[in-house]
Structure formats: C-alpha cells, structure tokens
Structure 1
Amino acid sequence: MRAPQFDIQYVTLHGHRRAFVKVGSGPVILLLHGLACDHTTWSPVIAELAKRYTVIAPDLLGHGQSAKPRADYTLGGYANGMRDLLTVLDIDRATVVGHSFGGGVAMQFSYQFPERTERLMLVSAGGLGAEVTPLIKAIQGFGWEPAMRLITRPGIRHAVTGVMRASTGLWPKHTRDLDEVADIVDSWADRRTRFAIRHLVRAVIDWRGQIVTMSDRAYLTEALPLAVLWGEDDQVLPARHLEIARTLAPGAITELFEDAGHFPHKDHPEEFVAFVDRFMTETEPSDYSRETVAELLRRGSLVDIPTAEGGDAPVDPVPAALVR
C-alpha cells in the first residue's frame, strides 16, 4: 500500500472515526476518491494544488483509515458525511471534485447542499451512464466474498498483487491502472473493508449496470459551474460517458485526456492541476438562490437524450432546463 505523504487528521462524527488530509490555504477544494480507494489516490496532485488552495482529501467511510462500521453506504449518506466534515472544520462552502464513485458523491452533495457547493468537477465519474466494468458488477455476486477471502490470504495476495504491479503499463490501454487495482486488492484483506465495499456497490449498481444517474435532477445544476474530465482509455467507466455529460450540460468545461485511464489525475498530474486551475479561474463560485432553485423545479420538463451506446440500460431523460 502507498504510504501517506501528508499528515492524516481524524475527527469522530456520529460515533465513527473519519480520516482526512487538510493542507494549503485559499479557496477550498474537497477531493473525493473512488470506490475502494482512499485519499492517497490524489497524492500526485495534492501538493501542487495546496500551493493555491485549501485541499481537503478525506477517506470516505468504509475506506482507508476511516471507520468501517455497519452503516449507511448510500450516496446520500456519504454526502451527509461530507457536509458534517466541512462543518466541523468550520468550512461553509467548497469546490467539490469527485473521482469515479466519488463523482457520484460529489453530484449528490451538490444536489443536497447547493448552498455549500461553489463548483462541481467530475473526474471519470459514475452516474453518467449505465455501463460499468463487469469486475465491479461481480462484487454484488454471491461468489465474490469467498473468492476474496481466498485471494487475500497472505501468500496468494502477495503473488497476485505482485503480478499486477509488475504488469502495470505493459499494455497501456488495458494495464495502465493495475497498480491501483493491486492497492485495492491489498485493502480487501480487511474483512470490514470488503463488507463496506459490497454494501456500497449494492446501493448503486445491479447486474445491468449503474442504477443511479444524475440526469433526472441534473437541471438543478444550471446555475452551478461544472467541469468534467475523462481518461481516453478508461476501462472502468467508458470515455463515451463524457459525451453524455456534454449533452446534459453543454456549458460545462470538459476535456478528454489522451494516454490516460481511469485515474487521469495520476496519469497526467500536471495537466490535471492545470485543468483545475482553469476551472477555478474561468468560473465564479455559485451564488445559491432558493428562488432560482424553486423556478428550476417548476420548469424542469423532460426531454429525451440518446441511449448510452453499448450500455445495458437507457440513460434517463434529461430535464430541458439543463440545456442552456
């Protein structure tokens, strides 16, 4: 497992320990990691971002050094947890950046707490189409837990993760992210982590793919600055979901990183930081207005959008109010 590069702080919320990194000064950026990862996935970019921003990178509940209780692992539960973390840190508002599953949490946070969201940035995010790698679908299956108990036994786990790390980048399009996968397999040696991940996956994915989508409420982001970034060779969530994002929000700042997989912030950290800087400098923080939200809710009529190509299920309709 990667060693943390920054001092980890802890706070107890509702009886459960939450781990996080807080560095830098300036406008606040909240970095939300993906499924089965932790804050160290952001290590290639935290130090540079902290030169201009206050960076908060938590370990989500059930991940990393945060507690792994029998608890609420829904998107709404995670959004509530991030609100409470910001509150105890005496932070009113933040630009929320979410990667993969963390993108779904970021979207949910912006929906539940628009008054606390200055901007929303999605990085290879869930919630933009049905498609997802079968390896994640398998987590909800009956055989996943016994298979993981076997694979994560010390001798077997070291052999499996050693092969993964040695194979990273050999066939870039398909093996670029194997070092991250190896870290995930290492974390699954902890039974409590496996429990949390399985319950999380069941809340957002079924055998057909992703259940949760932003499209039914996406029109509520009309007044919210939005950026979407994807890796061209993403094998977890296909890069064509970026086109869905562009259909949902044609005013968003978007970019497709070439020679990048599911972790574009790791593959091209300098370009990632430059993209964040562009987003922060070219947009103004959202000015929340309850009257504006009420008007959006009243006129949120539905229109059709294309089905996700190759997906197992159609994408939900897009509210016309988002098409600006």
Structure 2
Amino acid sequence: MDREGARRRLRAVPTDDAQVQFANLHGYKRAYRMAGSGPALLLLHGIGDNSLAWEPVFNQLSEKYTVIAPDFLGHGFSDRPRADYSVPAFANGMRDLLTYLDVERVTIVGHSLGGGVAGQFAYQYPEMVERLVLVGTGGVTKDVNPALRALSLPFSEYALGVVSLPWVFSTFSAASRMLHQHLPGALFRDNNEIIRVLERMPEKGSAEVFARTLRSAVDWRGQVVTMLDRCYLSAGIPTLIIWGSDDQVIPVQHAHMLHSAMPGSQLVIFDKSGHFPFRDDPDRFVDLLLSFVASTVSANISRADVKVALRQGPSSQPLTGDAEAQMAVLDVLGSDERSAT
C-alpha cells in the first residue's frame, strides 16, 4: 500500500471525542488517545506521566493532523506487568502500536523520557519517521536533577508507595503547593506539574514501574544513556529541539549539546519556562510545531541510507554551534560510560 493510501485509511476521530482507547498487544492492554485526520503526530509523554500531559495542545493539533497520544506500558491506563521498561523497549512498543493502528509514518514529538524514546525510535525504525521534535528530552548526557538520582537507588519504590497513599499524598501536595506559593524558589520550578504526575502513583504498581523505568536510564551518578553518539544517523530527519530556559529536571545546556550534535536541527528556548514548555505556553508550542511541520519536507530514510551512514561514521557530520557546546559533546563522545545500545 502506498503512503497516501495509508494516510487515507487513518481512522478519523472527532476532535471532541479523544477518549481513551485500548489496543491489546502481546496480551497486555495499551491505552492511547487518538483524534483528527491527515498526517500522523505521535506524542510521547515523560516518566510517570500519561497521555493527558498533552491535553493543553491535543485538540488544536488534531484540527490539522491525526494525533496519537499513547500511555506507555506501565503508565496511565495501560497495563503494568513485570516487564522491560527500558527506552528501547518503549520504542518497540510504539512500533507495535503504530502497526496495530495501520500508521506507517509519523512525526514524533517526545517529552523528557518520551524524547529519549523518540530518539531511540528514529535510531531503530528510521523508515517510519518523518520528523523529530524533542522537548526537554532525556538521554543527552549525565546531568539530571538530584531527586531523580536519589529515586534510582534501591528501595525507592517503597518511599514512592508511601507518598502515594491518599492521606499522605494529600498532605504532601497541600504542603508543596503552599511552599511553592509563598517560597517559589524552595521547590521545583515545575512543582505543580510534578504533583500532577505524582497523582497517578496511587495506581497499583505505578511506583514499581516508575523505579524500574528510571533505573533503566539513570543511576546515582546520573543518566547512563546518550543519543549523542548516533545523532549522525538522524541527519536526514528534520528535527526541532524545544527546551525551557529554567528546566530544573534536565538542564538547558543539554539542548545546546543536542543541537550541536544534530547539524541542521532547529533550536527554540522558551524563556522563563521549566520542564514542561508545552504546558507553560501551549499556544506558542502549537504554533511552533505547526510551522515546523508545514515548512519541512518529510524524511524518507531507507536501509541503504543507514548502511552508508554507519560506514562513514559520525565524523561525516561535523558538530555545529558554539565552542562550549561542541566541547561538551566531544567530552561525552570520548567517555567510556556512554550508551552502547
């Protein structure tokens, strides 16, 4: 079936009817929200979050595109089996879901963990990717908030389980919001968003899934995977990088490093925004994304293209950007602790 035929067969869903739907894949329930018609946008949420993270931008995007926002396995309304919760496993799950939905090619928009999954998906299945949009993405280099390092330690799931108890969580969230209101600098810039994510923890098994997912990518020293060593393989994919200037979860310096390692990428920093720029300023985010899609030509990468790039190696794509960003990228590429997926 040709590409246009695949797009015509995408099931159109009214924009006001983006209720959760389910696909049964390998015996497990995978939740997703889908609306609109036309070329497909795949929206991937962060760790511990779910597809409703995209609620501020979902309806606007679905006016022009088929928007698919899944709940990763172990998140939201999806099942929580004892399973592999690594970044490559999530990428495989997205391949399976898209195949189930008869969607052959997508523009992938990934936030935080979802950005790492988007990058991994482009690495594993480049022929399915039209564009990449990476938002405050994980998987660039070590630096990450100390709280996430601490939560990667053994038995952290028990602490999360205690916090998620209804009476404990209500006290915790009320105290956090009061502190954030009266002492804004005392907690995360995204304090309210963190509480929103934690509100999913009362779901049975959520704390265990959070810990298993986090440990697949983070340890006490920071992130253990990076996409910088294989960015050259995505050189033919139009890429937009969006970051908040005040991101306290993953530093904005990562945006400049990623931009340096991906020649031809576009970089936009949301001033005074934190880890969730698409929620801090949804109208700007939608305008930026729509403009990016409209102004770029879909990638069309074949297996032969990947073979040529692999044989040429990363040196065929020189770094760009300022000297500081280039040196930071080179430091990561010279480390023996980088990803070897």
C-alpha distance 145-289 of structure 1, shift in aligned 2 (>3 A)? closer
The Cα of 1:72 is off from its aligned counterpart by 1.3
Aligned to 2:39: 27
* 1:270 maps onto 2:283 in alignment: yes
Alignment counterpart, residue 244 of structure 2, candidates 217, 220, 231: 231
Q: CA deviation at 1:130?
A: 1.1
Counterpart amino acid of residue 193 in structure 2: E
Task: State yes or no: 1:307 paired with 2:324.
Answer: no
- Unpaired stretches in structure 2, ≥5 consecutive residues: 1-15, 320-325, 336-341
Query: Residue 122 of structure 1 is aligned with which of 109, 134, 137?
Result: 134
Tell me if the contact between 1:161 and 1:185 (Cα under 8 Å) persists in the aligned partners: no
Write the distance in 1 (CA, Å) between the matches of 2:128 and 2:184. Answer: 39
The list of structure 1 runs, each at least 4 consecutive aligned residues, that deviate by more than 6 angstroms after superposition, is none
Equivalent residue for 1:87? 99
Q: Percent identity?
A: 40
SS in 2 for 1:118: strand
Alignment match, 2:171: 159
Question: Using the alignment, how far apart are the partners of 2:307 and 2:72 within structure 1?
Answer: 31
Correspondence for 1:221: 234
Aligned position for 1:249: 262
> Which residue matches 1:321?
none
TM-score, scaled to structure 2: 0.86
What letter matches 2:56 in structure 1?
P
- What do the CA deviations read for 1:181-239 (whole angstroms, capped 9, x no partner)? 11232222234111111111111111111111111111100111111000011000001
**Match of residue 204, structure 1, among 213, 217, 229:** 217
The answer as to whether partners of 2:153 and 2:219 remain within 8 angstroms in 1 is no
Asked if residue 54 in structure 1 is aligned to residue 99 in structure 2, the reply is no
Q: Which runs of 5+ in 1 are unaligned?
A: 319-324
**CA distance in structure 2 between the partners assigned to 1:214 and 1:78 by the alignment:** 15
User: Match of 2:327, SS?
Assistant: coil
Q: Does 1:195 align with 2:216?
A: no
Indicate conservation of the 8 Å contact 1:161/1:186, yes or no: no
SS of 1:229's equivalent?
strand
What letter corresponds to residue 259 of structure 2 in structure 1? R
Identify the match of residue 303 of structure 2 among 256, 279, 290.
Answer: 290
In 2, Cα distance between the equivalents of 1:221 and 1:148?
A: 37
Corresponding letter in the other structure for 1:307: A
CA distance in 2, matches of 1:169, 1:275: 30
| Partner residue in 2 for 1:322 | none
Q: Deviations over 1:54-80 (max 9, x none)?
A: 100000011010011001111111111
Q: CA deviation at 1:145?
A: 2.6
Match of 2:333 among 274, 291, 316: 316
The aligned length equals 311
TM-score, with normalisation over the residues of structure 1? 0.90
Once the two structures are overlaid, the 10-residue window that deviates more, 190-199 or 171-180, is 171-180
Tell me the CA shift for residue 166 of structure 1: 4.4
Deviation at 1:314, TM superposition (A): 4.5
The code of the aligned residue for 2:327 comes to P
Measured after TM superposition, the shift of residue 315 of structure 1 is 1.7
Distance of aligned partners of 1:262 and 1:298 in 2 relative to their CA distance in 1, 3 Å threshold: same
Q: Is the Cα–Cα contact under 8 Å of residues 229 and 314 in structure 2 kept in the other structure?
A: no
User: Which of 76, 83, 86 is the equivalent residue of 2:88?
Assistant: 76
Q: How many angstroms apart in 2 are the aligned matches of 1:248 and 1:317?
A: 14
User: Matched residues in 2 for 1:212 and 1:5: separation?
Assistant: 38
